[in-house]
Amino acid sequence: MTGDVKYARLLEVLRGLESAVVAFSGGVDSTFLARAAREALGERALLVTADSETYPASELAAARELAESLGMRHVVVATRELDNPDYARNPSNRCFFCKEELFTTLGPIAEREGFRHLIYGANTDDLGDHRPGMDSARQRGVRAPLIEAGLGKAEIRELSRTLGLPTWDKPSFACLSSRFQYGDRITAEKLRQVDAAEEFVRSLGFRQFRVRHHDRLARLEISLEEMERLWQGGRREAIVARFRELGYLYVAVDLAGFQSGSANLLLGLKRPSARG
């Protein structure tokens, strides 16, 4: 099926829901899903964003702006993933506990507001990766309309561009807890450290990257297309200086480049890739 056919199928799926609360992070997938929900459901779609230590303030601000530009009702709620010791100890199924916190928070909102369903932005590409959060969604009956319509990331980006969504080429993003290796306990202090490091790299004009936390070492994954710029204009020196101010003793650049979900390499569930 073409992307247009799949989009029509997505609208059909959404109309069949009658009303829905959209888990809205402001990323590529959830913004595209929100736009489709507006078209299919109108005022019977509500955007809800979860705000916590794992969600950068810059992303929350962007989500607010996107919701306003879409002309949709938007609610921000607080979630407390770190209060759950099963989440904080950072096991390989950490994302399950994250989604549990999200969906148990959104459920009462949907019930109170009279919305029949919870939906979130998982797409078909997620089916081939380690995504424990999808288990929580299945167990709680949370729908993934993008998967039901057969839409993958590349198609979502292209359709987003066609629809005029500013997120069509937004870099991939994952919660800040993904910057830690499984088993490395997550704390609010560590999250603030990583967030500040990434904000600085972003301020230098880099778009697709991660700062992976390894105790006193920060490992910078950056897209291969952007890596050459590290050695220009004093950027390398500035990054080293800023990271040391934040408490990192060593700063390393990963020669494999940016790898989404690279922590899963330890599980043997992903093959190393230098494609970024």
Report pLDDT digits (tens) over 139-180: 999 999 999 999 999 999 999 999 999 999 999 888 999 999
Distance of CA 53 to the CA centre of its chain: 14
- Per-residue pLDDT, 232: 97
Residue 12 above 90 pLDDT?
yes
Distance CA 240, CA 232 (A): 14
SS3 252: strand
The packing angle between helices 28-41 and 57-70, to 10°, is 20
Confidence of residue 271 (pLDDT cuts 50, 70, 90): very low
Locate the domains of the chain by residue range: 3-169, 176-267
Confidence of residue 18 (pLDDT cuts 50, 70, 90): very high
Mean pLDDT of the chain: 93
Residue (of 263, 273, 117) closest to 182 by Cα position: 263
- Per-residue pLDDT, 262: 63
Residue 77 above 50 pLDDT?
yes
Class of the CATH-defined domain 3-169: alpha beta
Q: Name, in order, each residue with C-beta under 8 angstroms of 67's C-beta and a sequence gap of 6 or more.
A: 24, 26, 34, 47, 49, 73, 74
92-112: average pLDDT: 94
Tally of CB atoms within 10 A around 16: 12
Distance of CA 154 to the CA centre of its chain: 16
- Per-residue pLDDT, 276: 33
Confidence of residue 193 (pLDDT cuts 50, 70, 90): very high
- Per-residue pLDDT, 87: 95
Residue 129 above 80 pLDDT?
no
H-run or E-run covering 212: strand 209-214
Distance CA 98, CA 263 (A): 17
- Per-residue pLDDT, 76: 97
Distance CA 21, CA 78 (A): 16
pTM for this prediction: 0.90
Strands 74-78 and 45-51, by their bridges, are parallel
- Per-residue pLDDT, 275: 36
Which amino acid belongs to residue 55? Answer: Y
Distance CA 84, CA 49 (A): 19
Confidence of residue 265 (pLDDT cuts 50, 70, 90): low
